[in-house]
Structure formats: C-alpha cells, structure tokens
Chain A
Amino acid sequence: MKTKFWAALATTTALAMPALAQDAIRIGVLTPLSGTYAGIGQQVRWGLDLAAAEINAAGGVLGRPITLIYEDSEANPATAVPRAERLFDVENVDFLTGTVSSGVTLAVGQVAERAGRLMATTVSFADSITGTSCSPNVFRVNARAGQQSVALASWLAAERPDARVFYLGPDYEMGRSTVAAFRSNAERVGATSVGETFAPLDSADYSQYFGALRSARPDVLYTSVAGNDTVRLFTQMEDFGVRSNMTILGASGTVTAQNIGAIGGAAEGFVTGVGYSSLIDTPEHAAFLAAFRAQSGGADPDLYGADSYGVLFAFQAAAQEAGSLETDALREGFRDLSWQTPQGIKTIRGSDHQAMQQMYVVRVEDGAFHIVGQVSAEDAIGDDLCERF
C-alpha cells in the first residue's frame, strides 16, 4: 500500500516536473491532418508516435526524451510555410519531419535552411528534392520515384518484354516526376511508350481518360495516382471493361494497406516497386508489425508509416554520432549514416542526402501483397544529380 502511494507520487512528480519538459528534444511534425492527404498523415502520425514512445522508453536521445509537436500542413505550401516558421521560431523545435506533398517539402526545406535547422521527409516522392533542388538541410529517408522505378522496370524487363506502356499520373509534380522516372527506366529496358496523360488530384471521374487510353492500345498501364483516386480509377476501369487484358503497374503509394480493401477485385495483378512491404520476413519487422498494430488499433503499416517510424531512429543514431544537436554536427552525423529499420539497413548517401535501401517488387494476388522480386540498394539508387553540396 505504502509503496503504491510512493510510486504514484513519483509518477505524478515526474509528469509535472518542468525540468524534464525543458530537457526534452522537440521535434516538429508538419503533416496533413485534414484534406486529401489526411490518410497519409494518419500513417505518419502512428509511425512517429510509436517510434517516439519506444525511444523514450529506452532512455531517449542523448539521455533526453523526445516530444512531438504536430501542425496541420493542409498540403498547401502557402499555409505550411508560416506554420514551419512557427515550429522553428516559437516552438523552438530541434528537427522537423512529416511533410507529405513534394511542393510543401521543397518550400519547408528552404525555411529549415534559413532557420539553420535540419528536416527530413518520410513521404515525398519527387526526385528533385534530393536531386536538382537539393538542400544541405534536407534529408529523405524514403525511396524516391527513381528508386521505385528501377525496381519496377526490372520486373517489367523480365515478365513483359516489349511492353506497350501507357502512363496516367495525378496532375501535379509528384505525378509528373514519377511518370518521367518510370518512363525513362521502362524505355531503358526496351518498352515502348504509347501515350501519357495527367488527371487532376481528386478526379471524380476517370472515364473521360479512357478514350485516350483505349486509342493508344497499351498492354501495360503505369499509374501513380494514390489514395481514393486509385479506388475510383481501378473500379471505373473495371466497370468500363478497360481493365481486362491489361497489366497495371504503379507507384509505391498507389495501392496500399489503406485502400486495397476498397478497391477489391480490381486490384488483382497490380505490381509496384516499393521500399516497404508488410510481408518482410525478419524478426525486427515482426516486432514492428505487432507494435504498430497495437498503436493504430489494428491497422497495418504502409510505406508511409514504416518510413516515418524509421526516421526517428535515424535522428537518434545521427545525434549519438554527433554527440550534440548542433546543426553542422548533426548534419555530419546524418551523412553516410547506416541505421537499422524494420525494412532492413538503410544508408543515407552523403552526396545528395538520399536514403539507399533494398527495394521490393510487390504484386497483388488473391487480395494480398506478395513479394515477387528484389533489387539491391546500390542498383536502385541511381545517379547523384545534386550540385549544391
């Protein structure tokens, strides 16, 4: 009885102790909590909350616990930029992550650079973020469009040589960048491109694009639409009978654990190149999967959840190597860092701040994902196009 009382008192004082709060490392999370990307923001949140809880339980980073401070990015750079400034200037965060749309990542990366702090994206695909528009203060721990495309093209070369490919992307930079990346990789392995088109984000009706699709007579369709757009595209293709006799390939985020149920039978046979699969068969991954399900109330992680989970461990490893959170030291800590994630070992390439990782080719069979191929990190990474540092 007496011990229980003291234990309770100890917990209350620990919670109320202001010294601890001052000691905490503050990490800003600027992610979409509303709007089209709210579903992705949810995965980011589950992944980060889980990682922070695990790190804090094991003694934190440099002996200090992590506090996550969330802000809604609304996937709009004009809204996200002032909020990023608020995180840096008012909340005094030591590090920032969570950005989803690549336009937001690019604009917020510049804010981080001017504030002299570091950030990492765990979601954005656009190659330019660690390519032509790279920044010394921005890192990316997920696979970019190019890495996904190399993996997918290797499958295409083996399984559908001489394919006639049609490309359908969402009409914004991520869509254009993924289509361009896959197009060049597919043509490299001998495929013929027969047409491409872009549909606005949140298109209600994809049937108006089927005319162009039909007239090009492709046998393979590559698409990088995501979330609910995929649901509409795939089910409408099935309804209109354009789905038959066509293999659909896609970007990592096209079909995920989040929307595969809603797509139903129309997802059958879909193939993608991805940096994460919930089928990875390692003890680390099994532990992660169980913990994630407990955190999310039963939902499986997708690539966004897994990559976001991993970023805090990269931060921990980099901070420990640097011995401080001072920006220049931390940047050196991140460069060429190799760290353990549920997806295996990831390494950040020092020359462009892009994470290198094992890539998987995944195919939907009987309503579930199956790993049908792998590409090593070195083969998938592609050229370094970053010239700023």
Chain B
Amino acid sequence: MRDRLDISLRANHVLFAILFMAALVFGVMASLTGERFYLRLATEALILSGLALSIDILLGFTGLLSLGQALYFGVGAYVSALVLVGTPNFWLAMAAAIGASLLAGIIGGLIANRVRGVYFALITFGMAQIAAKIVYNTRALGASDGMIGIPVIEIPLGLVTLSAGNPFQFFLVVLGVITLIYAGMSYVLGTPFGRVMIALKANEKRVPYLGYSTWAPRMVAYVLAATIAGTVGGLYPMLRGFVSPELMFFSASGDALIMAIVGGTGTLVGAICGAILLVMFKSVVGSWTEHHLIIVGAMFMAAMLFMQRGLIGLVKPSIERRLLRREAERAAGGTK
C-alpha cells in the first residue's frame, strides 16, 4: 500500500522524467544548431539548480530556512578550482570539493543546529558573510579578483572520455550529476529516516514523542544539503574557468532561495525548474534592461502571496490525482 508521501514522491519522479527528457531534447537540438552560448547557459542553470535543490531540502522538507547556502557552493567551487590548477583531474577535484563541503557542512551544522527558526536563518547568514569576507581578504585565493586560469579538463567515465570544453558533453555530465543528486535525495527521503526528517517540518514538537531525536535528522539534512551545494559548486569552475568571491555573497544565496520558492518547495523538481527559469529570465531580460530586479522581486512576492506551492504546484496535484487513480485501479485489479 502506498501513502501520500509515496504518491507525492512518485509525482516528483514523473515531473523529473519530463524535465530530463526536455533537457536532453534541448541539448541535442542546441548542439545540432551550434548554439554554444545557450547550451552553456543551460549548464550553468543546472549547476545553480543543485544549489536551489539543497535549499529546498532544508526549507521544503525539514522546514529550516538557510540564508547562507552559497557558502558551501563557494567552498566546493574554490576547492575544485585549487585542485584543478594544480592537477587537472576531474575525479580528484570532485572528491576534494565533496569532501571539503561535507566537512564544512558538519562544522556549520554543529554551529547552526544549536538554534531553530529565525535564529537558524540568521546564523547561517552570519556564517556565510564571515566566510565570504575571509575569501575576499585572502591573497592566496585571489582576494577580490578571484582566480582565473582553471584549465579545461577531460572527464574520464570508464568507456568514454568527455571534455568540459565541449558544451554538449559537459551539459550531459552536469545533467547526470543533477540526476544522481535527485535520485539519491529521493531515496533518502523515502527511507524511514527520511520520513523523520520530513516529520520535523510538519510538527517538530511531536517527533520526540515518537521516540526519535530531532537533532540527528536536522543535522543529517543540513550536512546533505551542504554536500550537494558543494558538489555542484565543484562543477562551476570547470564550466566558467574562474571563481570569484561573489559566488559566496548573500546575493548568490538569495538568488538560489528565489529559485527554490518560485519553482515550488518540498518537491526537489521545483527548485530545478525555478533555477532554469530564473537563469534564462535574467539572461534575456538582463541584456535589454538593467531593471530585472523589480520583475524578479515582484515574481517572488507573487509566489509568496498567491502560489505558496510555486510553479510546480500548478501541475503536480493533477499528476498526483492520476497516480492515485491508477493506484486504486491496480488495487481493485489485484483483489479480483
């Protein structure tokens, strides 16, 4: 028997599959027509969607608002950049980025999880500001100019070797990483432990009565989110060839938050849609007016006021209904 959470997760899978196919079609079309720029922009959107997704894990499932998620994106990006400058090896850079953001996430989690609610939001904000300032003031990390000269690398995947310099190939790599992250997170949320995490959002006070600690699931969610942000952060310098302290500033965290909320929280897919939408929007509108901020802000407020479930909320209920109906039919068929 399947419960509501299961149906909800399966509806996400349907949406993700649609998104995945659309991305593939777009990628093939763009590479056939030689649209390098849009392909690379879409790759950036996918990378940022990982950051938005990590915010969604905290906000949409465990109910924790992070205002400083760009901290871990930045840690991943800088560590990956440092490794790549020394040894241009994809797996080494990714391992270092994941390891460093995991470690940073544990430290940050121990600090931030001492408090709840709005205090949690402010403490994550404060930590990100301090980290950004340290990077900004450190000469060895390129200080305010950031670091350039990150080489274009080859990505050996067993049978084939892809190149980060080929827009289509790198698009596929990033799409693959996002798919793995999505699949991994869906799996975790479906486990009993993942359900405790979700229960925190519904009613944190009751969780201890069920015999579960609230600290452990919050901590795990935080560290997972940090690691995901760091993983996609590690991909950023491979795409753009540089890193700069702006990647860790509040505006980066704020943008990712906007993506997650406009797309729809608590769905994982919503964050990805929101990221794609916002990046495309900024690129298109940004090249004909400096005033895209007002539109983004208004869109964000509209999402808060009128569609608390975001864009995904417009289509997801109908998919859920369809899945429920099929479930009911199958159950009816089973009893025959």
Residues on A close to B: CB < 8 A?
A: 33-34, 71-72, 76-79, 81-83, 85-86, 88-90, 102-103, 106-107, 109-111, 114, 126, 128, 133, 171-173, 176
Return chain A residues, CB-CB under 8 Å to B144: 103, 171-173
Of all A-B residue pairs in the complex, the 10 with the closest CB atoms, nearest first, are: A172-B144, A89-B37, A173-B145, A103-B145, A34-B290, A77-B244, A107-B242, A89-B36, A78-B246, A90-B37
Contact of A114 with B152 in the complex, beta carbons under 8 Å: yes
Q: Can you list 30 contacts pairing A with B, beta carbon distance less than 8 Å?
A: A33-B290, A34-B290, A72-B290, A77-B242, A78-B246, A78-B247, A79-B286, A85-B40, A86-B37, A88-B37, A89-B36, A89-B37, A90-B37, A103-B145, A106-B146, A106-B148, A107-B240, A107-B242, A110-B148, A110-B241, A126-B145, A133-B148, A133-B149, A171-B136, A172-B143, A172-B145, A173-B143, A173-B144, A173-B145, A176-B143
Picked from B41, B244, B287, the residue with its CB within 8 Å of the CB of A107 is B244
Beyond contacts A85-B40, A85-B41, A89-B37: 14 other A-B pairs, Cβ-Cβ < 8 A, are: A33-B290, A82-B283, A83-B286, A86-B37, A86-B283, A89-B35, A103-B145, A106-B242, A107-B241, A109-B148, A110-B148, A128-B145, A172-B144, A172-B145
The residues in B between 215 and 241 inclusive whose CB is less than 8 angstroms from any CB of A are 240-241
Return chain B residues, CB-CB under 8 Å to A107: 146, 148, 240-242, 244
Residues on B close to A: CB < 8 A?
A: 35-37, 40-41, 44, 136-137, 143-146, 148-149, 152, 165, 240-242, 244, 246-247, 252, 283, 286-287, 290
Return chain A residues, CB-CB under 8 Å to B287: 71, 83, 86
Picked from A81, A85, A88, A171, the residue with its CB within 8 Å of the CB of B242 is A81
Determine how close the nearest CB of chain A comes to the CB of B142; give it in whole angstroms: 8
Nearest-neighbor residue (CB-CB) of A78 within chain B: B246
Contact of B242 with A114 in the complex, beta carbons under 8 Å: no
Contact of B145 with A85 in the complex, beta carbons under 8 Å: no
Picked from B244, B246, B286, the residue with its CB within 8 Å of the CB of A72 is B286
Nearest-neighbor residue (CB-CB) of A85 within chain B: B37
Nearest-neighbor residue (CB-CB) of B291 within chain A: A34
In the bound complex, what is the Cα–Cα distance between A72 and B285 (angstroms)? 12
Determine how close the nearest CB of chain A comes to the CB of B76; give it in whole angstroms: 15
Picked from B146, B165, B283, B290, the residue with its CB within 8 Å of the CB of A77 is B146
Return chain B residues, CB-CB under 8 Å to A34: 290
Return chain A residues, CB-CB under 8 Å to B244: 76-78, 103, 107
In the bound complex, what is the Cα–Cα distance between A71 and B289 (angstroms)? 10
In the bound complex, what is the Cα–Cα distance between A264 and B141 (angstroms)? 39
Contact of B44 with A82 in the complex, beta carbons under 8 Å: yes
Nearest-neighbor residue (CB-CB) of A102 within chain B: B145
Return chain B residues, CB-CB under 8 Å to A85: 36-37, 40-41
Nearest-neighbor residue (CB-CB) of A109 within chain B: B148
Determine how close the nearest CB of chain A comes to the CB of B294; give it in whole angstroms: 13
Determine how close the nearest CB of chain A comes to the CB of B27; give it in whole angstroms: 16
Contacts between the two chains (Cβ within 8 Å), count = 75
In the bound complex, what is the Cα–Cα distance between A71 and B285 (angstroms)? 11
Determine how close the nearest CB of chain B comes to the CB of A368; give it in whole angstroms: 34
Determine how close the nearest CB of chain A comes to the CB of B69; give it in whole angstroms: 16
Determine how close the nearest CB of chain A comes to the CB of B143; give it in whole angstroms: 6
Return chain B residues, CB-CB under 8 Å to A103: 144-146, 244
In the bound complex, what is the Cα–Cα distance between A128 and B290 (angstroms)? 30
In the bound complex, what is the Cα–Cα distance between A190 and B160 (angstroms)? 63
Pick from A33, A77, A114, A126 the residue with the most CB of B within 10 Å. Answer: A77
Return chain B residues, CB-CB under 8 Å to A106: 145-146, 148, 242
Determine how close the nearest CB of chain A comes to the CB of B152; give it in whole angstroms: 7
In the bound complex, what is the Cα–Cα distance between A106 and B242 (angstroms)? 9
Return chain A residues, CB-CB under 8 Å to B286: 72, 79, 83
Pick from B40, B144, B165, B242 the residue with the most CB of A within 10 Å. Answer: B144
In the bound complex, what is the Cα–Cα distance between A244 and B148 (angstroms)? 43
In the bound complex, what is the Cα–Cα distance between A102 and B242 (angstroms)? 14
In the bound complex, what is the Cα–Cα distance between A86 and B280 (angstroms)? 12
Nearest-neighbor residue (CB-CB) of B247 within chain A: A78
In the bound complex, what is the Cα–Cα distance between A78 and B146 (angstroms)? 10
Determine how close the nearest CB of chain B comes to the CB of A50; give it in whole angstroms: 23
Nearest-neighbor residue (CB-CB) of A81 within chain B: B240
Return chain A residues, CB-CB under 8 Å to B146: 77, 103, 106-107
Determine how close the nearest CB of chain B comes to the CB of A179; give it in whole angstroms: 13
In the bound complex, what is the Cα–Cα distance between A171 and B283 (angstroms)? 29
Nearest-neighbor residue (CB-CB) of B240 within chain A: A81
In the bound complex, what is the Cα–Cα distance between A102 and B287 (angstroms)? 22
Determine how close the nearest CB of chain A comes to the CB of B184; give it in whole angstroms: 27
Determine how close the nearest CB of chain B comes to the CB of A203; give it in whole angstroms: 14
In the bound complex, what is the Cα–Cα distance between A89 and B283 (angstroms)? 14
Return chain B residues, CB-CB under 8 Å to A128: 145
Return chain B residues, CB-CB under 8 Å to A79: 286
Determine how close the nearest CB of chain B comes to the CB of A42; give it in whole angstroms: 13
In the bound complex, what is the Cα–Cα distance between A34 and B289 (angstroms)? 10
Return chain B residues, CB-CB under 8 Å to A33: 290
In the bound complex, what is the Cα–Cα distance between A88 and B36 (angstroms)? 10
Return chain B residues, CB-CB under 8 Å to A109: 148
Return chain A residues, CB-CB under 8 Å to B37: 85-86, 88-90
Return chain B residues, CB-CB under 8 Å to A171: 136-137, 144
In the bound complex, what is the Cα–Cα distance between A160 and B156 (angstroms)? 63
Nearest-neighbor residue (CB-CB) of A388 within chain B: B149
Nearest-neighbor residue (CB-CB) of A115 within chain B: B36
Nearest-neighbor residue (CB-CB) of B244 within chain A: A77
Contact of B145 with A110 in the complex, beta carbons under 8 Å: no
Return chain B residues, CB-CB under 8 Å to A83: 286-287
Determine how close the nearest CB of chain A comes to the CB of B13; give it in whole angstroms: 31
Return chain A residues, CB-CB under 8 Å to B240: 78, 81, 107
Pick from A83, A86, A171 the residue with the most CB of B within 10 Å. Answer: A86
Contact of A77 with B149 in the complex, beta carbons under 8 Å: no
Determine how close the nearest CB of chain B comes to the CB of A389; give it in whole angstroms: 14
Return chain A residues, CB-CB under 8 Å to B252: 78
Nearest-neighbor residue (CB-CB) of A86 within chain B: B37
Return chain A residues, CB-CB under 8 Å to B40: 82, 85
Contact of A110 with B242 in the complex, beta carbons under 8 Å: yes
Determine how close the nearest CB of chain B comes to the CB of A226; give it in whole angstroms: 14
Picked from A82, A126, A133, A172, the residue with its CB within 8 Å of the CB of B41 is A82
Pick from B137, B145, B241, B286 the residue with the most CB of A within 10 Å. Answer: B145
Determine how close the nearest CB of chain A comes to the CB of B256; give it in whole angstroms: 13
Nearest-neighbor residue (CB-CB) of B289 within chain A: A72
In the bound complex, what is the Cα–Cα distance between A71 and B44 (angstroms)? 19
Contact of B241 with A77 in the complex, beta carbons under 8 Å: no
Return chain B residues, CB-CB under 8 Å to A133: 148-149
